[in-house]
Every structure is written in C-alpha cells, then in structure tokens.
Structure 1
Amino acid sequence: MTDNLSLVSGVAKRYASALFELAEEQKAVEATEADIANLEKLLSDSEDLMRLVRSPAFSAEQQIGAMGAVLDKAEIGGLTANFVKLVASNRRLFALPDMLRGFHELAAARRGEVTAEVVSAAALDEANVDALKAALKKAMGKDVKINATVDPSLIGGLIVKVGSRMIDTSLRTRLNSLKIAMKEVG
C-alpha cells in the first residue's frame, strides 16, 4: 500500500509541476487555480464523478468524453481542461485529486504561503480564525491559509497540521493519554 501511495504521489507531483510550469509560462496561474478550485468542488460534490475518476473499469475514451462534458458544463476550459483530458488519455485520472492539490501547493509556495489543515470540535468563528492565522504566521514566518474542518469527536481543542508538523490539543487525545497512563499505573 505504501508503494502505491508513493507511486501516486510521485505521478501527481510530476503532473502538478508540469501544469504549474505551463500556467506560469502562459501567465495563467490565477485563472488555472480558479478552474482547479471549481473542478475540486465538482469532484467533492459528486460521488459519480469521483467513481469515474477512480475506477479503472472505464476506458480512456470514456473518461475523456465524460470529463470533457463535465468541464464544458462547468465552463472550465483552456489549460485546465486540456490538462484533465491529457491526464485521462494517459490513464492517470485516478491521481487527479492529488495533482490538483499539488498545483495549489506549488502556487501557494510561489506566493510565500503555507496551508494549515485545522480540525476543531466546533466551527471556528472569524475572530478565532484570525487569531490562529496570526499565531501560525508568527511561528512559521509565512502567510498561512487555513483549511478548517469540524470533527465533533474531538470533544474540544484543535488539531493543526502544517506540512509535516502536527499539533494536537484535542480533548479526545488528552483523555486517551490519561487513560493509557492510568492503565500503566494500576
């Protein structure tokens, strides 16, 4: 499984890098990033579309045709549409979500930003998000974009991931640590 994961991430990185270089050459990084965000939303909103992307049962021609129709309907064209069709023709559509994520990472790095994945027990209000951004900017020395999600099972606190760093201040983790410590004592 790990070999498969590294294979996908390697393929995704190469494709994302190639797309990013083309977008830079054509001075279309922002437009491409906007199209990619729209495509990511389509993928996250449709299980059928994800099935098309992930399934090896569909031929390259079927994937190209279906993705072309979806892209046309969503008014995603130009570089992004050509990229998706190329990926489908090369039978690499299964790695498309990772490629899109890789493009965002490259664009953010070029702008001097880092992305923090934040999981909280309840939705963060604007003041909390701003305070978290300020604290992370001070710690990282870069602008921080926050992708916030909610997981009520955390009970309270946050889990913050920036790159390979993770800070887990969730109540769930603290309770589990206490449970383990108590088992060791008695």
Structure 2
Amino acid sequence: MASDAPQIAANDTPMIGAPQTGGAADRYAIAMLGLTDDLRATDPGATDRIAADMERLAALYRDDAGFRAFVQDPRNGLDVQRNAAFAVLERIEISKEVHNLVGVLIANRRLALLPNVAEAFGAALAARRGQQLAQVTTAAALSDVQKASLVARLTEAGFSGVRLVEKVDATILGGLIVRIGSRLYDNSIKSKLQRLQYAMKGAA
C-alpha cells in the first residue's frame, strides 16, 4: 500500500448526521466520513469521489459471486487477503483512501465487514445531506429514465431527497422491490406468483 495514503482508525470521533448504532461497520464508516472532511480542504471533490468508490465496491460485492465468497471466507490468511484484494482494487482503479480502508479491515481481520461498511458510509452521507436511501431490487438494471421515474414517484409518495441504491437479482423475475426507511414495497413477479400460489392453495 502507498505510504502516503491518509490513515483512518475505527475509533474516530462520530460525526454529526452519522448513524449511531454502535456497530463496528458504523465506526469504520464514520471514520471514513471524517477522513473525507479532512481532505476537502485541499480536495473539494473528495467526498463525492470516495462515495463513488464505496458504491463501486458495494456493487462489486453484490454482483460478483467470486469476490463475495473471497471477502466472506475466514480461512484466507492476511497475505492472501492483501494480495488478492489489492489486485482487485488496482484493477478497478479504486482511490488510495478506500484502498487504505480495505487494508485496515484486513489488518484487523474485519474484511467480511466490507459490504456493511460501504452501506453504513452511504447511509451516513445520505443522512448528512438530508437524503433518504431507497434500496431498489430489480431483475435487470434500470435505465436512467426508469430511475428518474422511480425517484419522482417516491417523491410524490412523500419521500424527500431520495437516492437510489440499486441491486440486480434475476430471481425476482420482474417488477421491483423498494425498501425505504421502514417501508417495504414488493411488486416483484416472484412475490405475485407466491401470493397467487398461496391463494390457490387456500381455495383448494
């Protein structure tokens, strides 16, 4: 890892607007958010740049079964984790700050927390910006027009500052599942078929 990479620690002082659930993932996310604040003095775009990288890592974890299995495998030693993880980060050109975060997780035997840290970072940043995260699951990636339409519909439903966090899951067959705050909207074809199946069993 580059020696000039800014260092972060999991016990940094919590930031205003960050989630305070007390979990390890939240502490790493809060520390990362604090780092972006420090960097903004010389790099005004640091927060957006690092947030984009965190989202890319979260997407890689969601979409790549091999990477997901690697991250969650406790049998891998530190050297194996470093070599493999850093190779992936360099291939997808992740910033040195997020590269350093992954190094800290590995050193602390916490690599399995990576997706949780990425999610907690996104939630903390959204809370600070007055945004609401909408976790959207679809069978295929949404187009820009579909994303804009969904945000508009959620706004009409009373949710303000909506930011979509997308996940593709072919097993839902079609439609979409939206979780925002404590609300869950399940309009997937899979769920419709399940409800139909239950109804048919009840009528038998």
TM-score (norm 2): 0.68
Q: Report the counterpart of residue 39 of structure 2 in structure 1.
A: 26
Shift of 1:89: 0.2
Q: Which amino acid aligns with 2:126?
A: A
Q: Report the counterpart of residue 112 of structure 1 in structure 2.
A: 130
Contact 2:62–2:167 (CA<8 Å) still a contact in 1?
A: no
Q: Residue 114 and residue 64 in structure 1: after superposition, are their counterparts in 2 closer, same or farther (change >3 A)?
A: same
- CA–CA separation in structure 1 for the residues paired with 2:25 and 2:135: 20
Q: Report the counterpart of residue 12 of structure 2 in structure 1.
A: none
Q: Which amino acid aligns with 1:10?
A: G
- CA–CA separation in structure 1 for the residues paired with 2:59 and 2:182: 25
Shift of 1:161: 1.2
Shift of 1:94: 0.9
Shift of 1:99: 0.8
Percent of aligned pairs sharing the same letter: 35
Q: Residue 66 and residue 162 in structure 1: after superposition, are their counterparts in 2 closer, same or farther (change >3 A)?
A: same
Q: Report the counterpart of residue 132 of structure 1 in structure 2.
A: 150
Q: Which amino acid aligns with 1:106?
A: A
- CA–CA separation in structure 2 for the residues paired with 1:118 and 1:74: 24
Q: Deviations over 1:73-117 (max 9, x none)?
A: 433343211111011000000111111121122222222222223
Shift of 1:150: 5.8
Q: Report the counterpart of residue 77 of structure 2 in structure 1.
A: 59
Q: Residue 180 and residue 136 in structure 1: after superposition, are their counterparts in 2 closer, same or farther (change >3 A)?
A: same
Shift of 1:61: 3.1
- CA–CA separation in structure 1 for the residues paired with 2:110 and 2:141: 36
1:36 to 54, 57, 68: 54
Q: Which amino acid aligns with 2:57?
A: L
Q: Deviations over 1:36-59 (max 9, x none)?
A: 234345445654433332211122
Task: State the aligned residue count.
Answer: 177
Q: Which amino acid aligns with 1:166?
A: L
- Unaligned stretches of 5+ in structure 1? 1-8
- Unaligned stretches of 5+ in structure 2? 1-21, 41-45
- CA–CA separation in structure 2 for the residues paired with 1:73 and 1:83: 17
The answer to which of 134-143 and 77-86 deviates more is: 134-143
Contact 1:123–1:150 (CA<8 Å) still a contact in 2?
A: no
Contact 1:154–1:171 (CA<8 Å) still a contact in 2?
A: yes
2:28 to 6, 15, 29: 15
Residues 61-76 of structure 1 aligned to structure 2 (within 5 Å): 61-76=79-94
Specify the SS of the correspondent of 2:179: strand
Q: Which amino acid aligns with 2:53?
A: D
Q: Report the counterpart of residue 49 of structure 1 in structure 2.
A: 67
1:99 paired with 2:120, answer: no
RMSD of the TM alignment (CA)? 3.1
Specify the SS of the correspondent of 2:93: coil
Q: Which amino acid aligns with 2:163?
A: K
Contact 1:60–1:90 (CA<8 Å) still a contact in 2?
A: no
Q: Deviations over 1:105-135 (max 9, x none)?
A: 2222222222223345676555443332112
Shift of 1:24: 1.9
- CA–CA separation in structure 1 for the residues paired with 2:173 and 2:64: 27
